[in-house]
Structure 1
Amino acid sequence: MTAAAAFGEAAIEQSVPGPRYVQRVELALAMGDQKSLAPLGLNPDPLQQLAAAMASVRTAEGEHATVVLDLVPVRERHLARRRRRLIARSKRRGPSAFGERLTGGTGGGGLAEAFTAAWSGGKTSGGRSDRLPRMTDLRDGVGKFEPSAGAVFRVQLLLRTEARHPQAALARMNQLLAAFSVTTGENYFKPRRPRTPWRKAQFDRRFFTGEFAPCKRQWLTVPELAGFLKPPTVKCRASSVVRSGGLVPPAPSDLPVYTGQRDLVPLGAVTYADGRERIGAARVKDLLFALQLGKSGHGKTEAALVQCIALAHSGYGTWFLDPHGEGWMRAKPYLAHPHITPRVWEINLAHSEPDQLVASWNPLSMEGRNEAAVKDIVRSVTEGIASAQDWGDSAPRARTILARSAQALALLNHQAVMAGEPDAQCTLFQLRSWLTDDEWREQLLRKLPQRVRDYWEKTFPKLAKDAVPTVTYAIDRLDTSPALQAFFGSPRSAYDVRTAMDTSRIVFVCPSGSESDAIVSCLLIHDLHRAGLSRQDTPRDERATFWAWGDELTALDSSSKGFLAAIAEQLRKYEVRFIGMTQMALRLSAITRQALLQNQSLLSTCAADYDEAAFVARRWNGHVTPETITELPKYHYVMSINLNGTPTKPFRVRGLPVEEIFARYDNPEGVPELDTAIDTNLRRRPIAEILTALEDLDSVVLTHHVGSSSRTSSGDPTTRID
């Protein structure tokens, strides 16, 4: 029986018209087959040259190159007979290289006896004290076929190339022959070319049918063959080699399969134990916090969108910070369904036309809050702006001034709400008025408690004037965008993330794409943290699970007292699940990075550079190498999850695009109705209307609190508003 393997082939996809030129070569051992070829190691990989030769074959131009290696195992009795004949041949050649004959005594029939003695511990049947042959001499006689040689195979090695030009066929054949030159050792392969038509026909018959009829006997051992029969190693870098992508443990046998269940979160396509690919999933009860790492454009956002859409259709509340707005545009057709549209909120700050409808958010609003919430509002606004400005602890005066300003305005807003005048609340833009308009501030100070007034009357005048511009700089940046003016410039908030949590809203937030994005994102993420902590007032069993995704964590993180760490450590207690995405975990602050990794129940990475890959691989205790991560194809991930309360080993996942996994939800015709529903859900107003009201808001606030407005600016007449 013949075992045939065409282990290197470059095939023609379709027949190419024109003449064909064929080169045929059979490789045969140049010397006796007891002399061995060079044993092939792993470095360099012997398949490197062969793979490189195959890679150069131009299949589109009709070239074709094939190497066929036929193997037939040699039976042990045939191998033993071969050894005896080789030893007999050595005897006829006379003394060995060591000056001793292989047999002792003078009898001519001692060969078999000596051979037996050599492998029986020195005993002979006749009991004569003859000199035994040395094992070195026996090895010289039998060559590579000594008893420890292992398996031996008969070999037929055929090479065939084909091209439309004779020189091209010859060039491809020479490349194949060069690839086998690495086997040259005590023995070597010699090419034999069939010359006559009969020989060529015989060659082709053996080549295509697998008939085993080598031109001469040639037996090879495993060390001589293994280099060509093994898979390519990492040392084989030819472009024609298909890579496995590295060794990764298989997916857990009990990994759930997602078919739309409410208690599952889809992960992507996973190959299960039976070899079939299904949509793997994590259980909602196990997925509390997730960290997704890897290069930009390799599928982190797409995977997050799949999860967000799945959970939205399952009735959960979701919050998606989409810095570029592309994710929202992809998600809209899949959310345009009657059972979802009443819950959808869109905060899109990329448009600034006067008639564009926008929602508003006042981070200083006190509607629905008691006076005890002032400290949380102050912390959220201060840390958000400080984080965006990267103040850290290097600007203590600016941080203090900002906190004190936010405290004063929040207290004034609480008074306005309690008086039934929420439209007289201050916004972020009144922070600038408070710090730069002394007369306006002094009139409003009379409405604040003495403990608050003391700071502004005694401490603030002593601070250097250069501290104030540091604070107002952030507000000045927001003031450059009409969309941001409208979003932050209304006294009353249509956007309230605490309401979104409690009523399972589906929220997409898309900043403007301007230089102020960092301020917007930091304010939003800090407010998310504040709102999550505020759920302490709700019994645990009444808290609706709320999912939040934050992209570009590196841009959100800074020296702001570790708010991302606080999210990972605290919000799970209040049924807020956070999934963070970033390209470079090593750029996160140490406290944030440690908290994210300590508390994650899903760790996922797509391709990354070596340093990032090594960082992630260490978290998996050597189950995956950094090289495996760096070579991941686009939209492929390695991830580990918590399953039934226990961390799994990492396994492979192929990312699925939204249109593939949720094709049944695609409803582009429903997008106009969704937009109309969002206008109603968020009470969106035209930008021009909000900006007009913002121009007079300082006067409205002053009128409400002191009864009249008598502000005098440089060059402006005194104005009274009744």
Structure 2
Amino acid sequence: MLHQFTYPTGNQIGPEAMAGVLRSVHAANRERHSVELILADREGSIQFFIECPVELRAILLVHLLDAFPGAKLERCTDSLLQRHRPNLFQCILLRPQLPFEYLRRQFDRHDPMTAVLSLLKNSGATRSHARITVRLWPARESRCRAAERSFRLHHGRCYSKAVQQSFVRGVVHESRIVRLMSRLLAPVFVRKSMRSPEPGDKLTDCLFETQVCVEVQSDETNVAVASEKLTDIAGAFALFASNENQFTVAAAGSVRPVGHAGLLTPNEIALMWHPVKAEVQVSKLQRIESVEVEPPIELPIQGRHARLTPLGRTAYRKDKRLVGLPIESLRRHVYVTGKTGVGKSSLMLSMMTTNMRDNLGIALIDPHGDLYLDVLCQTPKRRTNELILFDPGSDQELVPFNPLDTSSGIDRGRVADGVLSAFVKVFGLDTATAPRLLHIFRSALYTLVEQPDATLIGINRLLTDTAYRKAAVARVSNPAVREFWHGEFGRWHERDRAQFLASLQNKLGAFLSNRQLQLILGQPKSGFNLRRVMDEGGILLCNLSKGRLGEDSANLLGALLLSSLQLAGESRADIPESERRDFVCYVDELQNYSTTALATSLSEARKYRAPLFVLANQYREQLAPELRSAIIGNCGSVVTFQVGSEDAPFWSRHFGGAVTPESLMAMPKYHAVANILIDGMPSGPMTIKTMPPPIGIGAKVEKLKRQSLRQFARPRVELEQHTDALFG
């Protein structure tokens, strides 16, 4: 049976582990079946193969996977190698100058297989294919006894061994007769006091009868080149020889010779055939890009867990079970990380598709627009009336959004704080760098939320129009806010006041001068009620494409939406927990919208069942330190795709060392390491392969857009008239 053997890219285990595997095979192979260790240049890459009988397959599999964690031994058809049948052949044999000595055993500076692998690969200029086969089987008892006699003859205390050897070789020339004469004359030349084999001697180890064969296949036009390649590969085996034992070419032709097997230990064989370490750089050497981690025995299943949200399938040998998150696990939030283009958006699309089909309420904040359209294509027809499309970059009808709207009963102070945290995120400010600016801005927001039909567009008027400010402050119920306007603000000199307000007005003007933001944020009533969307299980899709809105404007809208979602979820404290419908919020490129309040919401949103966050970003340094800690501490499920060199050591430690940093950096596309919650407890890391989402129907997109706009949008002309009146 032919098997392909592949091992992880980050392998740090060398010939010592391979020697241990061979010893186990020797102990189990009582029938003396032959095993072939093959190195082949196939399909443009260098691959490892093992050919063994059925009786030894389980032994090899168990010991190889134990010695090389993450490796694969997969059965393949013999035709994989028979396609390149050799027309040039050489058999390399061990021809000892002295009886039964070791091959070379010490390689301090380099792996000796590097040269052999470099010569084996196909340069591409020719169509020749090479193969090295190490054929071995346990040595017969007669060969072992002969080896012991040779050992004692060679290591015995001789009066004159040189005279003995010269006498024997001078009398006879046939090798068998030489060995016979040596045994007969040994008592004459060798003393009786001979030492016994020591633990480090070759006789104390198990022995294999071993053949090494090199084969090259080529077409008729490249015979000379193939012959040269054959000679080079055979010559490379001189690296493994010692002064006493040399490799020589014993046969050449198109037929493999029989016999001529030298006695080698597992250590000697392992030096010639072993998985090379990660630092050995050989182009075209096939390795497993990532380690496969064994999943837990019990995984959530569809029948036992309601509303299972699939992540993918396990990627561990032949185990391809479905991996999903029950709603109880979603309530503890999900964090997805990985480089751009590795499959984060595809995973979220699959999850949202399932959520919509299970009648779960969802929200999406997408900074690019592609995921927004893909989810729109997957929307079930029966949920058309629940769909809200918030697309502020549109040049047609727009859905207004007023983050200062308190008509749903949310505490006014919390609304003002939420809006302030969104602007602080976009401004990049904190109390240490701009304390006075934040103090003025906070007081202005606390004043605006108590005004009828207040919007963010009116904040400049509040700061500059004395009559309007006096009327607005008269409606404020918070005495601390009134004291600020009447006391501190009123005592400032006009020149100082203008200077203090200039910085805030400049920052606000950079956003509120954007015409699209004016039309959307300048309306007293939002086109949708977030509390109602959560309670009724609606679908809110937000297209915050930076290319259409500008980066700063898109980030501000996203931060305002995220803050409003958090406040709407917390307002559900007025209804019993059993009546709160689960609502999942998906946020792509989290770093663009994350505010300081998000860290607190991760620990509290589970109680309100909204929003249940599925957060995604590329690397940890994009996030503020407190948010990084909150994600690790509160996100029950973590899915890590391919990451960079800075993040890989951290996630390797997070997964308990089950995955090496090198494997995380080389994770294939659409593959990830997941640690999910199962019945409230972490499952431990496992490798998964995400599933492609079903193909959506693009033709229904326009129909869905028209239906949503008819329900929630307002004509652009009407929005412009109301916004222009605010500036009049």
- Give the TM-score of the pair, scaled to structure 2: 0.79
Deviation at 1:258, TM superposition (A): 6.0
Distance in 1 (alpha carbons) for counterparts of 2:451 and 2:39: 80
Pairs within 5 Å for 1:123-202: 132-135=193-196, 145-146=202-203, 148-163=204-219, 164-192=221-249, 200=253
Choose which of 404, 412, 420 in structure 2 pairs with 1:364. Answer: 404
Shift of 1:145: 4.4
User: 1:43 & 1:56 partners in 2: Cα distance?
Assistant: 26
CA distance in 1, matches of 2:654, 2:698: 42
Deviations 1:648-681 (A, max 9, x none): 22111112232xxx24xx3223222211221134
* Structure 2 residue 336 is matched with structure 1 residue 279: no
Equivalent residue letter for 1:594: S
Alignment partners' CA distance in 2, 1:450 and 1:239? 71
8 Å Cα contact 1:613-1:626 kept in structure 2 = yes
Partner of 1:714: none
- 1:688 matched residue in structure 2: 717
CA-CA distance at 1:327 after TM superposition: 0.4
* Partner of residue 624, structure 1: 659
User: 1:428: Cα distance to partner?
Assistant: 0.8
1:640 Cα shift? 0.6
3-state SS of 2:498 partner: coil
**Contact 1:320–1:508 at 8 Å: present in 2 too?**
yes
Alignment partner of 1:34 is 2:97: no
Confirm or deny: 8 A CA contact 2:122 2:129 kept in the other structure: no
Deviates more, 1:610-619 or 1:690-699: 690-699
1:30 touches 1:190 (CA, 8 Å); kept in 2? yes
Change (3 A) 1:553 1:177: same
Residue 400 of structure 2 aligns with an amino acid whose one-letter code is S
From 350, 357, 372, the equivalent of 1:328 is: 372
Give distance in 2, aligned partners of 1:671 and 1:471.
Answer: 41
Alpha-carbon distance between aligned partners in 2 of 1:44 and 1:465, rounded to the nearest angstrom: 73
- Measured after TM superposition, the shift of residue 96 of structure 1 is 6.2
Q: Is the 8 A contact 2:388 2:708 kept in 1?
A: yes
Determine if contact 1:258/1:280 at 8 Å carries over to the other structure.
no
CA contact (8 A) 1:156 1:213 kept: no
> Is the partner of 2:581 in helix, strand or coil?
coil
Aligned to 2:363: 319
Decide whether aligned partners of structure 1 residues 698 and 21 sit closer, same or farther in structure 2, where only a CA change above 3 A counts. Answer: closer
Residue 471, structure 1, aligned to residue 500, structure 2: no
* Structure 2 residue 258 is the aligned partner of structure 1 residue 213: yes
Counterparts of 1:48-87 in structure 2, within 5 Å, are 48-58=114-124, 61-84=126-149, 87=152
Moved more, 589-598 or 171-180: 171-180
CA offset at residue 43 of structure 1? 7.1
- Which of residues 639, 652, 674 in structure 2 aligns to 1:604? 639
Secondary structure at the aligned position of 2:437 is classed as helix
Q: Distance in 2 between matches of 1:330 and 1:284?
A: 23
- Alignment match of 1:45 (pick from 111, 132, 146): 111
Q: Name the counterpart of 2:49.
A: none
1:24 aligns with one of 86, 89, 99: 89
Instruction: Name stretches of at least 5 consecutive residues in structure 2 with no aligned partner.
Output: 1-31, 45-78, 165-182
Change over 3 Å in CA distance of 1:654–1:696 after alignment to 2: same
CA distance in 1 between partners of 2:42 and 2:533 (Å): 60
Q: 1:256 corresponds to which residue?
A: 300
* Distance of 1:622 and 1:539 partners within structure 2: 43
Match of 2:172 in 1: none
- Tell me, yes or no, if the aligned pair for 1:333 and 1:670 is still in contact at 8 Å: yes
8 Å contact from structure 2 (residues 398, 716) kept in 1? yes
SS at match of 1:286: helix
Counterpart of 2:427? 389
Question: In 2 relative to 1, CA 3–619 (structure 1 residues): closer, same or farther, beyond 3 Å?
Answer: same
> Which amino acid is 1:205 matched to?
V
Relative to structure 1, is the Cα distance of residues 143 and 392 closer, same or farther in structure 2, using a 3 angstrom cutoff?
closer
**What's the offset of the Cα at 1:318?**
0.8
Segment drifting more, 476-485 vs 301-310: 476-485
- Matching of residue 492 in structure 1 with residue 525 in structure 2: yes
Residue 571 of structure 1 is matched in structure 2 by: 605
Q: Does 1:348 align with 2:391?
A: yes
Could you say what secondary structure the match of 1:296 adopts?
A: coil
Q: Distance in 2 between matches of 1:506 and 1:42?
A: 64
Q: 1:693 to 1:263 in 2, by over 3 A?
A: same
1:671 aligns with 2:678: no
Q: 1:239 to 1:386 in 2, by over 3 A?
A: same
CA displacement, residues 381-438 of structure 1 (integer Å, 9 cap, x when unaligned): 111111211111122222222222122221112xxxxxxxxxxx12111111111222
Give, in whole Å, the separation in 2 of the partners of 1:42 and 1:254.
Answer: 46
- Cα-Cα RMSD: 3.5
Q: Which residue of 2 aligns with 1:8?
A: 39
- Once structures 1 and 2 are overlaid, which stretch shifts more, 514-523 or 227-236? 227-236
CA distance in 2, matches of 1:567, 1:473: 31
Q: Secondary structure at the match of 2:613?
A: strand
CA contact (8 A) 2:677 2:683 kept: yes
CA distance in 2, matches of 1:12, 1:566: 54
Contact kept, 8 Å, 2:293 with 2:316, in 1: the verdict is no
Distance in 2 of aligned mates of 1:327 and 1:552: 12
**Which amino acid in the other structure matches residue 561 of structure 2?**
L
- Residue 418 (structure 1) aligns with: none
Distance 1:313 1:143, change over 3 A: closer
% same residue: 21
Letter aligned with residue 501 of structure 2: V
The structure-2 alpha-carbon separation of the partners of 1:624 and 1:92, relative to structure 1 and needing over 3 Å to count, comes to closer
Structure 1 pair 178–524 and aligned structure 2 pair: CA distance change class (3 A): farther
Q: Is the 8 A contact 1:72 1:155 kept in 2?
A: no
Quote the offset at 1:368 in angstroms: 3.0
Structure 2: distance between partners of 1:538 and 1:600 = 25
Change (3 A) 1:328 1:408: same
Q: 8 Å contact 1:474–1:519 — kept in the other structure?
A: no
CA distance in 2, matches of 1:688, 1:186: 94
In the alignment, is residue 523 of structure 1 matched against residue 560 of structure 2?
yes
CA–CA separation in structure 1 for the residues paired with 2:642 and 2:356: 28
Structure 1 residues 282 and 375: CA distance shift in structure 2, 3 A? same
Secondary structure of 1:249's partner? coil
**Match among 451, 458, 462 for residue 487 of structure 2:** 458
Shift of the 507–71 alpha-carbon distance from structure 1 to 2, 3 Å rule, reads same
Query: Gaps spanning 5+ residues in structure 1: where?
Result: 100-110, 119-129, 207-211, 414-424, 700-722
* Cα 1:90–1:582 shift into 2, 3 Å: closer
Deviations 1:334-371 (A, max 9, x none): 11x321211111111233x2xx111011111132327x
Contact 1:35 1:143 in 2 (8 A): no
Q: Which amino acid aligns with 2:391?
A: N
Alignment of 1:547 onto 2:584: yes
Residue 308 of structure 1 pairs with residue 352 of structure 2:
yes
Amino acid in structure 2 at the alignment position of 1:688: V
Is the Cα contact below 8 Å between 2:404 and 2:455 reproduced in 1? yes
In 2: Cα distance, 1:495 partner to 1:474 partner: 28
- The C-alpha deviation readout for 1:602-635, integer Å capped at 9, x for no partner, is 1121111222111112212222221111111222
CA distance in 1, matches of 2:285, 2:303: 36
TM-score by length of 1: 0.79
Contact 1:39–1:224 (Cα < 8 Å) also in 2: yes
Cα-to-partner distance string for 1:281-314 (whole Å, 9 max, x where unaligned): 1222123112112212211122112111211111
**Alpha-carbon contact 2:422-2:559 (below 8 Å) kept:** yes
In structure 2, the residue matched to 1:404 is 443
Matched, 1:533 2:570: yes
Query: Is the CA contact (8 Å cut-off) linking 1:325 and 1:511 kept in structure 2?
Result: yes
Whether the 8 Å contact between 1:385 and 1:474 is mirrored in structure 2 is no
Contact kept? 2:94, 2:262, Cα under 8 Å: yes
C-alpha deviation, 1:169, in angstroms: 1.4
Residue 379 to residue 157, structure 1, CA distance change in 2 (3 Å): same
